[in-house]
Amino acid sequence: MSSSLARTIAEIETLIT
């Protein structure tokens, strides 16, 4: 689950950036 969470966060950060 941790991997999925980190993955989602990384994608969100990309959108924010």
Six-digit token string for 10: 């990384």
2/10 Cα distance (integer angstroms): 12
7/2 Cα distance (integer angstroms): 8
Render pLDDT for 1-17 as a digit per residue (tens, 0 to 9).
689 999 999 999 999 98
Six-digit token string for 11: 């994608």
Six-digit token string for 15: 């959108």
What are the residue ranges of helices labelled H in 1-17? 2-16
What pLDDT score does 1 carry? 67
* pTM for the structure as a whole: 0.18
